[in-house]
């Protein structure tokens, strides 16, 4: 029956739907999965908007931007949710995004101001390990240790790119040297986060590149306190996840309302235990129990988005050079 309905929907698409306006939000896959924030956010927003909120999962952040560029002005999307600061410059240059009017008191480790993109959560990259393991305190120590790590390929994965920027932001011209030191610690490089984390859980390595918030998942969802993130003395690289409104949206008002909703408690309170990141605006109820156990880096690293593209290409060349041998 479902397929009949879909088929009918295809043929009637132009005329019928009428009354309830539809807001289409492109996001990454894990956002819309049963355990992601998608379902709760959809329910909460539809209660107040008198609209039909439709999430479309498109790979990850980079695939998201590629998709919107591919579709151009004819895109069905009204809002894109899931870009980060590594992508904002390219997104800005595409000219596809429109300014927002959202103002909020962000709880970010740095001051945020951007006319196109609204942050909805953030987190630090970190190496996750089993509690009780002896772990190094910075990249140099890691390189000298015999700890085995699994990382993601920066060319195909957001955390992979994050690590690239992390090393570059911390060490600048010495980044290549750091990578050369890490080469013999790297068990393998995976296509995406899922592969890497899966391999780590199978015991293929001592540490895996993930987020400082990953142990919270195991603690809260699985009541398993065996995972921890290793604090690194150089500071930790920041990922700020962002959403923006498309200029060609046929529901600009609804899109604005969604972005406003996004920084409200209803949305923000869902984030910590579904997306396993820090909310951009801490809700009144505070962070869920368990988050207080996470490491809190003293220093947040972030390459400004205007420089990101340039830094990225240089860092990638160093990375390839150091690891391809």
Partner 1 sequence: MVAVLILGSLLAVALRAEVGRGLGPSDWAAVRFTLWQAVLSAVFSVGLAVPLARALARRRFAGRRLLIALLGAPFILPVIVAVLGLLDVFGRSGWISIALGWFGLEPLQIYGLHGVVLAHVFFNLPLATRLILQGWQEIPAEQFRLAAHLGATSADMWRLLERPMLERIVPGVLAVVFAICLTSFAVALTLGGGPGATTIELAIYQAFRFDFDLERAALLSCVQIFLTGAAALIALRTARGDEFGAGLDRVVQRWDARAGLARTVDVGVIALAALFLVLPLSAIVLAGLPGLALLPASVFAAAANSVLVASVSTVVLVLLAVPMALAVATGWSRSVELAGLLGLAVSPLVIGTGLFVAVHAVADPFALALPVTALVNAVMSLPFALRILVPRARQVVDRHGPLALSLDMAGAPFLRLVVLPRMRAQIGFAAGLAAALSMGDLGVIALFADPERATLPLQVYRLMGAYQMQAAAGAALLLLVLSVAAFWLLDRGGRWHAEA
Residues of the shown chain interacting with partner 1 in the complex, contacts defined by CB under 8 A? 3, 6, 9-10, 13, 28-30, 32-36, 38, 54-59, 62-63, 65-67, 69-71, 74, 76, 90, 148, 153, 155-156, 183, 186-195, 197-199, 201-205, 214, 217, 221, 276, 319-320, 323-325
Cα–Cα dist 287/304, whole Å: 27
Q: With CA atoms as reference, report the closest residue to 272 among 299, 258, 290, 298.
A: 290
Cα distances from 197 to residues 122, 164, 208, 224, 318, in angstroms, run 19, 18, 7, 16, 25
Least distance from partner 1 to the Cβ atom of residue 214, Å: 8
Q: Decide whether 106 or 322 has the Cβ nearer to partner 1.
A: 322
> What's the token pair of residue 180?
């050369």
Cα–Cα dist 286/269, whole Å: 8
Q: Decide whether 69 or 92 has the Cβ nearer to partner 1.
A: 69
Q: Decide whether 67 or 92 has the Cβ nearer to partner 1.
A: 67
Least distance from partner 1 to the Cβ atom of residue 40, Å: 13
Least distance from partner 1 to the Cβ atom of residue 251, Å: 16
Q: Decide whether 10 or 18 has the Cβ nearer to partner 1.
A: 10
Least distance from partner 1 to the Cβ atom of residue 258, Å: 17
Least distance from partner 1 to the Cβ atom of residue 114, Å: 21
CB of 61 within 8 A of CB of 299?
Answer: no
Least distance from partner 1 to the Cβ atom of residue 25, Å: 11
Strands 207-211 and 149-152: parallel
Q: Decide whether 3 or 113 has the Cβ nearer to partner 1.
A: 3
User: How many C-beta neighbours within 10 Å does residue 8 have?
Assistant: 11
Cα–Cα dist 34/15, whole Å: 31
Least distance from partner 1 to the Cβ atom of residue 188, Å: 5
Q: Decide whether 51 or 102 has the Cβ nearer to partner 1.
A: 51
Cα–Cα dist 75/30, whole Å: 21
Helix (H, G, I), strand (E, B) or coil at 81: strand
Least distance from partner 1 to the Cβ atom of residue 43, Å: 14
Q: Decide whether 111 or 325 has the Cβ nearer to partner 1.
A: 325
Q: Decide whether 30 or 269 has the Cβ nearer to partner 1.
A: 30
CB of 301 within 8 A of CB of 164?
Answer: no
Half-sphere exposure of 82 toward its Cβ, with a 13 Å CA cutoff? 28
- Long-range pairs for 169-178: beta carbons < 8 A, 24 or more residues apart: 169/237, 169/301, 169/302, 169/303, 169/311, 170/139, 170/234, 170/235, 170/237, 170/301, 171/139, 171/234, 175/315, 175/318, 176/318, 176/321, 176/322, 178/139, 178/140, 178/143
């Amino acid at each position: 029956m479902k397929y009949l309905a879909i088929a009918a929907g295809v043929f009637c698409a132009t005329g019928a739907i009428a009354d309830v306006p539809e807001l289409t939000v492109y996001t990454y896959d894990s956002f819309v999965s049963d355990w992601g924030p998608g379902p709760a956010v959809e329910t909460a927003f539809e209660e107040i908007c008198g609209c039909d909120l439709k999430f479309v999962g498109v790979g990850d952040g980079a695939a998201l931007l590629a998709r919107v560029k591919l579709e151009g002005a004819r895109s069905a999307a009204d809002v894109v949710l899931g870009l980060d600061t590594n992508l904002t410059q390219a997104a800005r240059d595409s000219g596809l995004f429109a300014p927002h009017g959202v103002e909020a008191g962000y709880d970010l480790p740095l001051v945020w101001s951007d006319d196109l993109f609204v942050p909805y959560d953030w987190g630090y990259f970190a190496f996750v390990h089993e509690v009780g393991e002896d772990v190094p305190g910075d990249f140099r120590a890691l390189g000298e240790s015999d700890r085995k790590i699994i990382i993601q390929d920066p060319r195909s994965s957001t955390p992979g790119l994050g690590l690239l920027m992390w090393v570059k932001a911390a060490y600048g011209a010495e980044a290549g040297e750091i990578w050369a030191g890490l080469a013999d610690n790297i068990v393998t490089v995976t296509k995406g986060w899922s592969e890497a984390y899966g391999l780590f859980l199978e015991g293929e390595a001592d540490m895996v590149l993930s987020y400082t918030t990953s142990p919270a998942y195991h603690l809260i969802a699985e009541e398993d306190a065996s995972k921890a993130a290793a604090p690194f003395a150089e500071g930790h690289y920041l990922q700020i996840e962002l959403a923006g409104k498309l200029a060609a949206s046929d529901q600009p008002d609804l899109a604005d309302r969604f972005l406003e909703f996004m920084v409200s408690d209803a949305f923000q309170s869902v984030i910590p235990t579904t997306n396993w990141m820090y909310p951009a605006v801490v809700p009144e109820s505070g962070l869920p129990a368990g988050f207080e156990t996470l490491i809190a880096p003293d220093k947040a690293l972030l390459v400004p988005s205007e420089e990101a593209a340039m830094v990225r290409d240089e860092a990638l060349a160093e990375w390839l050079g150091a690891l391809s041998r």
